[in-house]
Structure 1
Amino acid sequence: MYTKVIAKKGRSYPKNPALGVIIPIFGFDEATGTYIHATREMYPDDQEIFIYAGYAQIDHDIQENELFEINDIRRVNDPSKSCQYSAAANDYQQLPFTMFIPIIDAKFDVNNKELQAVHFNSFFFIRSGNSIYGPLAADYDNNNKWRPINRGDDRFENVYENLFSHIEDNHDCVLQFKVDTFNEGIIGDYVLDLNMLLQSGKYTTIYAGTKEDTIAWARTKLPNALAASKAESDFLKKLSTFSLPNITLPSEKQKLEAFSRYVGEANDVINVALPNLFERYLESDAGRANLETYLAENASSFIQEYRKDEFTAADRELKSKREEIDALELQAASLKQNLEANNEKILEGVDEGDKAKLRHIIKNEDQRNRFLKLFDATGVYESVQVKVQQLEGKREILEDDVKRRQNEVNKLEAQEKAVKAAIVTVKDKFFKEEDFATRLVETKIYSDILNNIEPVSLHEKNSELQAEYKVLDVHHGNIEAIEFINEITNRLDSLGRTINPNDVVNYLVSLHQNFLTIFAGLPGVGKTSLVTKLSQALGAYAFDRFLAVPVQKGWTSNKDLIGYYNPITRRYQPAKTGMYQLLRLLHKDAENGQEYPAIVLLDEANLSPIEHYWAEFSSIADDENKRPLRISDEHCLKIGKGMRFLATINYDHTTEVLSERLISRAPIIKLSKSDIGLSDDLPAEFQFPIFDYAKLDYWLREQRESYKVDVKTRFESIIKKLEEDNPALGVPIIVSARKQRAVEKYCAAASPLMKMHSPLTALDYAVNQHILPLIAGRGDAYKKRLEALHEKLQSMPISSKHLTNIIQAGDQNFKYYKFFY
């Protein structure tokens, strides 16, 4: 048995999270100064060590499969105990991340990064044959794939200069080490010390970048005109006109080979596959159906465009015909001049008296014809006459064509006038100012009747107001704030949600201090479920003071959320959400002098712009006394101090972007699956007593003395770095006075209630959900501002890790850095 071991987490005891067991992996032999692989013979009790105090702290700080060091292992020497080895959690410490790096046995293939799910939060190696490859990490989006380690990856600060002196010139590369060269540095399935491997220099570089990484690298090597091409297809098409520079580094030669392969594949897709695919699709039944549907839906615009083109074509053809007629007239005039010239030529040498007679004969058609039979020795008259007749015929044809085209233009102009007149008539009929409001109200009434929405009176005591209260089971226990936190934590645990106590404090303080709190995360992380369970734990759910509102696409005003007052019927038309009914219940609470928590869940809140349909509530969000809510020009409802909105949002292309005004008024708590513990077997519904709001206000109040000087100093340094007016750091991030006050209030209330692993724990939570959501900017200079901010977040692991992820995601997104990545 060894008194100091390297171990990983085992399991906790469900009834007492402070107790648990750990699994020893290596023991430290003090005599030789080496680590020995722990075996079942050394620790026969299922190879476990019992932790008799503080296991919850290990469970919170240590990730799954993460190794840590623990000292003072003792043998119990009591046969009645199920475990003969024990220790306390206060004797453990986390290892430098460069030591005891896991090794996975798998086939290594840079072209197929598929791997069984990786459960390591740090990096790892792959052992294939007589080599190990790494360092590697799980892919950002898919734990079934691996990726190479690059600059900016989390938890690399401690060995920055050493590690990146090897990897920096080999971006997106993996290092290959021969196992037999490092027998002493590999213990079982772990690399003892990464620094030892790197400092040896005995490795081979292998490029393992993705297609996107390869193209991004190529852009840095190509002329600016080509690298600036945004579309990938446009970028690849232009490559044929450029020559890559000379490449000398082995890793860059591998990148060039991969890049050339991608260019060939892209050309095949662009020039062959896509045209063939598109042609086959249009020949299929589905393709023809979609094309016909598109043409049918856009028929009016096609007709309009066709008529426009028809007018243009008619005018163009008419102009052409007229120009052709003008040319023919000029030709005819020229021929007549030639004819007259020939006539005079024929009469040369004739006496003047005879010339007058001959001219008279020429002008008279009958006499001219007889005369020509006698005197047309050259045939000039006959040829000229034929040409004149041909030109006259063409002229008649063209004049008829011009008349026909002119008639078509007249018809089209008449149709256009008729359509314009019809539009004017429709507008006059349906959009007169004195009629429009009435028609709109009538339409709304019929729509509400068809949707089973019944109007209610604001003047009469309807059945809803006469309904009896559900009898409230109010919590009357005389407990302190910490006991209240424990009570909520236990309630959530009984509802199937095992949540870290500090996270429970964060949820409750955020909910109490903000009229609107936003929970963000990808689908499936449990946002809606968490809000529902919080309302159950507070007692609001069981006593009709919880309302789940599924937000719909296309909401534009408070009419969609609450309803509207109909001035025609003089009755209030509630929305189908149930919000109006909840407001009436809270109004009755206020009239009776009662204050209880009431929670409204805006589920998928950003399917429509929140600041539009939530505008009525936004106007009172900063009013701590919650003045009455005006629902019409003459009527208000008291909502009391206990009402809160909890919004869940997704952040993909189907949702609306949150406005700066909204972000400045609400904390954004970003959830992942690891934040919420889900039980496999959820218990039945619990009906917990509801808490009086006055007690909640007392337990979660600000305690100004808890806002320590060192915490205030750190926060001021963060603000200073964000707002520093330095062009080298990009656009400043301005933190409003409202946000600064929100952070100070949060720390003053949360610090006394949290288990403080650091004096900055509460500030860590506050910065993560109040300050980081303000991040939105582009470029290398802006990245430098974020990196400078990262230095200010030392001893603040939550916000530090989140900021690291923001920077990494921005690097992959064309240097665009934002909170929602």
Structure 2
Amino acid sequence: MYFEILNNGEIVPINKESLFCETEQVFVTSGYSELREKYSSSLFAATCVPTNFEKKEGNCQYITRANFCEEIKGLLACQVYDLPFPDVNEAAIILTEKPVTKTILIQNDSYIYGPFDYIDEIDPATNQHILHLKPISTPLNKIQQFHIGKIGIQKCIAYLSQNNHSHMTFLCNIKRIFENIDDTIDYITNDQIISTYGNRIAQNSEIRSFNKGTIAQIRKCYTSSQEFRTFPERFNRLFQSLEMAESWDNTRKDLMDSFLSIDKGKEILKKYIDENKEKYFREEKQSFLKKLQEDKLNQQQTFNELVNKKEQVEADIRKMLRARELFLFNGGQISTITITAEEKNKIEQKLSSRRKELDTLTAEVKVLEEKHSRFKKIEDLKNEIDDLERERDRYRDRKRQMEEQVEDVAKKLRESNEVLTSRLVQLKPDVDALCGLKPKAVFSSLDYNVITREISATESDEDTRENLINSVLDALNNRGRKTDYYTVANILTTIAQCQFTLFSGLPGTGKTSLAKILAASLGLQNRLLNIPVARGWTSSRDVLGFYNALSQSFIPSATGLFDLIRHLHYEMKEKIESAAPAIVLLDEFNLSQPEHYFSPFLEMADPESKRIILTGNPEEQHFQVPTYLRFLGTINQDESVQSLTPRLLDRAAIINFDDFEQDYDLSVVKSDTHKDLSISPITGNKFIDIFLPRSLEMTPDIERILQLIIETLRDDNPEFGTPVIVSYRKIKAIRSYHNVAGPMMYIESKYKALDYAVVQHILPLLNGYGQNFGNRLNTLLDNLPDEMERSHKLLRRIISTGNQNMFCYGANI
């Protein structure tokens, strides 16, 4: 035992304030094996009770159990190492054993430095632990981010504890002690420098390549900044890292050449070529086959010539043999026919020469027959390929015949439809006369054209985005809607990145009015379409319209959505780049079931969507919907509305309005919220582009928190009830939001953008039943950083409301 937590919450070394136990140990009555396995290499907290056994000298006075123990949280205690203070460029120490606390301190020359987070790496050669140090991710009150504290050891003596058995030293009450630090040290690591400032460099649209000139440009950009004057050493290390990275190309080439010159490199290269042989040798293979075909033809011709020559020689030999036999026969029977020895030798020599020639031709024919057999196999393969191609042609002909049959059937159906339609048209005047119907007057549609302002070519997307947020903020404040920069940045980023954005809250919290004032602040004029949703809407004909076959005309719905989408389709068709954004506001969005009346538009939430709306009108069969059309919805949280399904929640971002704005200007009641402030909007495409993320990567600390949230909700442990799956669509939306909103909100808190994203994308998914599901939500609450205030507040409200409603938990959306 090292420390004791007193009743007032103060932590003191064991046996210092009062005698706890002379042994400084606690006896574990049950679960010792489980406890040893779980906390074998970490410090933990144990709840102890006095023993009921007979107390003897040398025995433990207190006992505990495995289920009375838990991990220490925060900076209750840190292990202290007496080592030389490591240089920030190295930022590593070597130990024989891994620390037992998540954070550590370094003692050197009567000072204690820290606290440090660390990454443990084991050296396989020596089995030693190499700890890569970095400042803790959550700064203390007197210590800035990426800094560590320096404090004299005399200020810490009262809170230091060393166990005689383990010879380990610990310091408790870190937060209280480091309120009196002597100095702070900038201890930002090279990785943190790259992730912090490299991200800003990557988001700079003026930097499109990376070379020596780029490094000079970056150096010039930063040397005039206030941050450079505050932390010059950081930026010198950044510039040094960039120069090392720029010279890496030449170093990499030398390494590759050196590697490929050794046997191991040649072996790996040969293996790679073998694995990709089909890809890289396709042309060589075709050229070889062509040459093989030509060789085959030449060899076949030579073969045929040699066969003919062989047959001719064989015929000559047979002729000579017959002449010889006749000569011998006549020489034995007729004495008058004589032959000289010289003539006989000539005949024998000629015969021997012919036989040798025959043997040579026979050997050449044998060799050619072997080659011919290989060519024969190639010929068989070619014939098989020809058969397959003929079969393919037959199937193509059959497919064409079937398509012609389908076309004939479709033609007959169209002809039948035209006949029926013609008969209906003939009957329509009679029906109108009998019903007393009059022709409908033609109404002129609204003017959806808005003049947009031009953006300077020298103005970056970041500047355009910042100017837009500030202009909207000023317009909202002028119209009496008092709000702050971060709220406006959150709403604009969410609307630009999400196809569906829903304002949620109780009646009277200003959802609809804010949507209308926001559209006016953007200068949208008639391009904001307000649609009050009615109860009982069941299909798209209620919100869009339908085709009347009797009158041969399309009957638009009274919502005006058909006219707006037709105008936007015209802008897409004519490629009008200066078109302004457009917003459809669905007031009381969930008064009817959105999946029924709005189903054609839900598919647009997917990036793969073709964004096409089918009308059923033969004259205008479909409309192309541009990306700069966004849908806003206001939803209530009472029994009069429909609950949102997981399918819709997965496609929408929910902005909560339950916190009523106390500083809302009551004079807005008298002001005209629709008054034109002569605001010229930016183009719709520009509005979408300036809020597009440059990357989906996040810093390691933010990535760690996001993964912890996802894993906590996904954990299928029965103790946590039903798991909650966060889809890839939601994860991508959170990453996109954070990469755009994070730099804008970083000054307030590095977790603020993630806080907004979690509240709007993840917490609305939390719906479950039972105490076990409540345990899951409490675990999630413990894992969230304290800086995520919005997430903490909403999650506590969900837990509190669920506990009061028989453990029925939900976001009430």
TM-score normalized with structure 2 length: 0.43
TM-score normalized with structure 1 length: 0.43
